[in-house]
Every structure is written in C-alpha cells, then in structure tokens.
Chain A
Amino acid sequence: MKAINETENINSRIRKDRVFLGLVVLFSVITVSPIILIISKLIEKGYKQLSFGFLVEKTPDTMEAMTAIANNELIPGGIVNGILGTLLMVAMAAVIAIPIAIITGVYLYENQGKWLANITRNVSDILQGVPSIVLGLISYLWVVKYVTNGFSALAGSVSLAIMMLPMIVRSTEETLKMIPQTLKEAGLALGIPYWRVLTGILIPTGFSGLMTGILLAVSRVIGETAPLMLTALGSRAINMNISKPTSAIPLLIWEFYNDPNMVDMIWSSSLLLMIIVLAFNLTAKQFAANRK
C-alpha cells in the first residue's frame, strides 16, 4: 500500500476511482459491440435472400447470378448443397468423435493421478490447441491421399472429428468430476457390475453436462472453413457420397467471397450459418443452466 501517495487528497483519489470505473464500463461495452454489429449487419444484408427456396435449391452458377443482377433481381437458387454437406460432415464427425471422446473422458476420470492418464490428458490438451488448418493438412495426408484417393466428405469429417475430440474429452471429465463419489460407491456396493455403474449411473447423472460439451463442440466445428478447404474441397452439386468432394455452408461462403457476381449470396449464407451456430450455442447453454 505504500505506493499510494500520502499527500494525494481524498477528492482526487475518488475522482480517479470514478474515472477508472467509467473506463472499465466503456471498454466492456466496446468489447461486446462487435457481436451486435456483426449480427445486425448479417440480418440487414442477408434477410432478403433468405427464403424457402434458399434452403432447398442448389447454388446457381456465375452466369445465372450475372443475369439476375443485370435484371435487378435477387440471385436465384440456394445453398442446399452446402446445407446437406455440412449436415453430412458434421454428423459423421460427431459419430466418430463422441464415443471415443466420452470413453476417454471416463477413463481419465477413473484413473485420476495415474501417469498414463496424465499423459493422455496433456496430449488431449495439446491437441485442443492445434490450429484447425493443421488438422486439415493431416486429414489430407491421411484420408485424401490414402483412403478416398481424392478430396472427400470423409476427409472433411476426419479433420472435424479430431477437432471435436479433445473438447468433448475435457468437458466429459470435468462433468464426471462434479458428480458425488457416493453415487458411484452406492452402485458398486449394491453389487452392480462396473460397466453398468458407468453406463447406468455416471453417464445419465452427467447427461446434461455431456450434452453441453458435445453441443459446444458441434457449434465450434460447423463454422470451420480452413480444414474443409484442404479436404472436402466443395462442390456445386448435392453430394451424399462420402468419398466424393462435398460442399459445406462455410465453403460456399468462401466461394461466393471469391466470385464478384455472387456477393449477394454471402450475407444470406453467413446469416444462416450464424443462426445455426447460435442455436447450438444457446441450446448448450440451456443444458448447462439446467444442471445448476
């Protein structure tokens, strides 16, 4: 406390206190303003294109877009190829990642303090910090080159699955740690087999916590673009074959961004992507709130 100047009078100290509070509030408001600015811009520029057709029609080609712009009309078509591609790849990534991640989370919880569990936890943490573009490179080296022999939905899913893994591992372990030990012990004391205690007591008790982790992980990978550019590549057609190039909403946004005729489609696609991401995010929050 010696740093406070003794001769400083109380009025100037109070003034300093008020100014500081003012700055804190001001900067906090500046901090959250981008979310409002971004969402309002997406709504303002994107709502016109957003219609039922936008959800069920395929991406138009550049010529169609040019003609529409010349006639002062909305660009026809939609992004159904991207919507289905995103659905396919994210669902497949979830199917790959969720079982592995939850079992790993249970393993970490059951082996607190053991060296192999500690290593696994640290490795999982490191994996969480790996930039998504590097995971795209990896999936390219593994799947595109050796499994599907070309850009494919499967390759996209693998890169997204590796992204999801560590997030769900961590949230699973954290959730299980908060469940009272006595619950598990009571089950074991009744003679219930170990695996039934895990699947019948631990996991149902932590269900909403697990769901929070899963939904947040899904919402995080839905908007991923970079790894998909290196793996799924994109496609103008609807593709449900996992060994063929496939589009996704963020990939289409990237294509529209690079094509001057398609600019109008950028905003509606981004708005849709944002709505989906926010829906997952807020549902996850709801699950988290239910637990408390």
Chain B
Amino acid sequence: MNSDKITKIVLFSVSFIILIVAGGIVFSLVGGAIPSFKTFGFGFITSSHWDPTEGRENYGALPFIAGTLITSFAALVISFPLSFATSLFLGEYYRNTRVAKILGTMVDLLAGIPSIVYGLWGFYILRPFLIGIGFENQGFGVLTSSIVLAIMIIPYATSLSNEIISMVPNDLKEAAYSLGSTRYEVIRYVTVPAARSGIFAGYILAFGRALGETMAVTMLIGNSNIIPDGLFSTGNTMASVIANQFGEADGLKLSSLIFIGLLLFVITGIVNSIGKLIIKKMN
C-alpha cells in the first residue's frame, strides 16, 4: 500500500470520529431518557407538574420549555433594535472605517465574555438598577434574564447581518441615489430588502444561541418550576433546570433531566438547521 492511500485512510478514519461523537450523543441522550419516557410518555412534554418529593415523584417539562422559549424570544425582541443598528453602523454607514473596526472588535469581545460573568453583572448591577428605577420589585425573572441574554446574543445576530448588508451590490444603491433618494431611503427600500433573508437567518441563529444559555439565566431567572405568566414572573429554562437540579439527581429525576437535555438538543438542532438552510438557499 503506498503512502498516498494511507494518508487518505487516516484522513477518512479520523474525521469519522466526529460522526461517532454526534451519534453517541444522540444514543446516550435517548438511552438516558428512556426510564422517564416509559413512566410519563409524551405527557412529559405537556405536563407542568414538577415534583421531586419521594413517593409522589412526578416530572413534567412544560414550564421549562415555555420558560426557554419565552426568555429567548424576549431576548431576541430586545436585541433586535440594538444589533440591527449595529450591523447598519458596521456594514453600511461606517463600512471600512477606523471607528467601525473598533466598534466591531468590541462587539466581538461581547461574545468572549463568559456566561457566568454576564450572570454576575446581571445580578449585582442590572438587578439593583431595575429595582431602583421601579421597573421590577424583586429583580429576578424573565425580564432580567432576557435583557442579559439579549446582550449575549448581539454578536451572533450582528456578525451575519453586518456581512450580508455590506455585500449588497453598490450598483443597486447607486441607482437609488441617482434617483434622488436619501441614505435612509436607500437603506429602507434597497439595502434591507436585498439583505432580508441573511438578516433573518442571523436572528434565527442568535435565537438558537439563546435557547441553550445556562449560567447567566440560572443566576437571574429565579428558579421556580412554574410557567412564567409574564415578563416579571420568575421561571426556569431547560438549561437552568438541568444546572440547578443535577446535583441531587438520580434515578427517575436524573432520567427526566436527561430527557430535558434531549429535548433541548432537538429544539436547538431544529432552530440552527433552519438558520443554516436559509443561508444555504441564499448562496
């Protein structure tokens, strides 16, 4: 066997590891979730009753699924004006300038701050601030978590839409200028429509990020096993309930937490695939 063939075999077999890992993840999550599924069936997803008391153990994931979707969606809504403005700043108004480079670096650094530091900041700085301005009376809950989540996902939403916006052909924009449009009109009627699907995909991927965020949310959402009934309600997300309750878990409870992990895996997988699909369609 010559060396070229060996090289090819090495490349092939090592890269197979990632497929094995991914397969193993699905296999182990499903395997771990089976005891819980056998006990609760699909009722696990629709039941909102989470009670670990021995003897009358009952686990339902609905509060956490709802908590995850509500906080992530609220984060997306809060981050939208910020990241949209930032991507226009970077990709349109100040493209290729020094100030855009500095701002862009700072946005990238936002992605580098560890989740737990965001949590601390939310707890010690943002929470007292929200209480101080009379916005919140306890400071824990969906709103506080969503604001911090919104900051955390800004870099993900911004980087893609900034790139797409800066790729809109100049011909299109110049045509609009020559008709007498102001810059605002060019952005509104030419740039944004042309970049629409890319911007949308960026927000989907950012949403996927928010779904799985753990530490910051765990520190801020209040950790109550109820379906949040508004922005000021406390709650729990799928990720935060795993982080909170894993320590003392075994048996059926552990299996239920793994079941939640499986659901989280599936939901983020679907959301990310939709985002990727939109990007693929664009090219």
Interface centre among A25, A34, A132 (most CB of B within 10 A): A34
C-alpha gap A142/B4 in the complex (Å): 35
A50 within 8 Å of B (CB atoms) = no
B39 within 8 Å of A (CB atoms) = no
Residue of A nearest to B267 (CB): A131
Contact of B32 with A127 in the complex, beta carbons under 8 Å:
no
Contact of A24 with B11 in the complex, beta carbons under 8 Å:
no
B112 within 8 Å of A (CB atoms) = yes
Contact of B219 with A257 in the complex, beta carbons under 8 Å:
yes
Residue of A nearest to B147 (CB): A34
A270 within 8 Å of B (CB atoms) = yes
| CB neighbours of A130 from chain B (8 A) | 25, 212, 265, 268-269
The prevalent SS among residues of A at the interface is helix
Give the residue of A122, A133, A165, A193 whose beta carbon is less than 8 angstroms from that of B21.
Answer: A165
B160 within 8 Å of A (CB atoms) = no
C-alpha gap A270/B108 in the complex (Å): 19
| CB neighbours of A133 from chain B (8 A) | 212, 214, 239, 242-243, 261, 264
C-alpha gap A14/B115 in the complex (Å): 42
Contacts of A7-36 to chain B: CB distance below 8 A? 13-14, 16-17, 20-21, 23-28, 30-32, 34-36
Distance from A266 Cβ to chain B, minimum over Cβ atoms (Å):
6
| CB neighbours of A254 from chain B (8 A) | 116, 215
Distance from B158 Cβ to chain A, minimum over Cβ atoms (Å):
8
Binary B-proximity of A243-283 (CB < 8 A = 1, otherwise 0) = 00000001001100100000000100010011001100100
B170 within 8 Å of A (CB atoms) = no
Contact of B82 with A119 in the complex, beta carbons under 8 Å:
no
C-alpha gap A199/B228 in the complex (Å): 55
Contact of A137 with B113 in the complex, beta carbons under 8 Å:
no
| CB neighbours of B112 from chain A (8 A) | 219-220, 223, 277-278, 281
C-alpha gap A284/B76 in the complex (Å): 29
Count A/B pairs, Cβ under 8 Å. 242
Give the residue of B105, B184, B257 whose beta carbon is less than 8 angstroms from that of A21.
Answer: B184
Residue of B nearest to A110 (CB): B11
Binary A-proximity of B46-69 (CB < 8 A = 1, otherwise 0) = 000000000000000000000000
Give the residue of B89, B109, B120 whose beta carbon is less than 8 angstroms from that of A253.
Answer: B120
Contact of A194 with B7 in the complex, beta carbons under 8 Å:
yes
C-alpha gap A127/B17 in the complex (Å): 12
Contact of B18 with A120 in the complex, beta carbons under 8 Å:
yes
With an 8 Å Cβ cutoff, the count of chain A residues facing the other chain is: 81
Contact of A35 with B185 in the complex, beta carbons under 8 Å:
no
B137 within 8 Å of A (CB atoms) = no
| CB neighbours of A70 from chain B (8 A) | none
With an 8 Å Cβ cutoff, the count of chain B residues facing the other chain is: 87
| CB neighbours of B226 from chain A (8 A) | none
Distance from A175 Cβ to chain B, minimum over Cβ atoms (Å):
16
B154 within 8 Å of A (CB atoms) = yes
Contact of B261 with A31 in the complex, beta carbons under 8 Å:
no
The prevalent SS among residues of B at the interface is helix
| CB neighbours of A220 from chain B (8 A) | 112
| CB neighbours of A13 from chain B (8 A) | 182, 184-185
Binary A-proximity of B237-265 (CB < 8 A = 1, otherwise 0) = 00100110011000000000110010011
Contact of A126 with B242 in the complex, beta carbons under 8 Å:
no
A89 within 8 Å of B (CB atoms) = no
| CB neighbours of A266 from chain B (8 A) | 120
B179 within 8 Å of A (CB atoms) = yes
Contact of B269 with A129 in the complex, beta carbons under 8 Å:
yes
A100 within 8 Å of B (CB atoms) = yes
| CB neighbours of B211 from chain A (8 A) | 131
Distance from B41 Cβ to chain A, minimum over Cβ atoms (Å):
21
The residues of A with any CB-CB pair to B shorter than 8 Å are 1, 3-4, 13-14, 16-17, 20-21, 23-28, 30-32, 34-38, 41-42, 99-100, 103-104, 106-108, 110, 119-120, 122-127, 129-135, 137-138, 141-142, 162, 165-166, 169, 193-195, 198, 219-220, 222-226, 229-230, 250, 253-254, 257, 266, 270, 273-274, 277-278, 281, 285
Question: Which 10 A-B pairs have CB atoms at the shortest separation, nearest pair first?
Answer: A131-B212, A223-B114, A27-B85, A129-B272, A226-B214, A107-B15, A104-B15, A17-B182, A17-B184, A28-B89
The residues of B with any CB-CB pair to A shorter than 8 Å are 3-4, 6-8, 10-12, 14-19, 21-22, 24-25, 28-29, 32, 81-86, 88-90, 93, 103, 105-110, 112-121, 123-125, 151, 154, 158, 176, 179, 181-185, 187, 189, 208, 211-215, 218-219, 239, 242-243, 246-247, 257-258, 261, 264-265, 268-269, 271-273, 276
What would 6 A/B residue contacts be, using CB atoms closer than 8 Å?
A13-B184, A27-B85, A32-B110, A38-B121, A123-B22, A193-B3
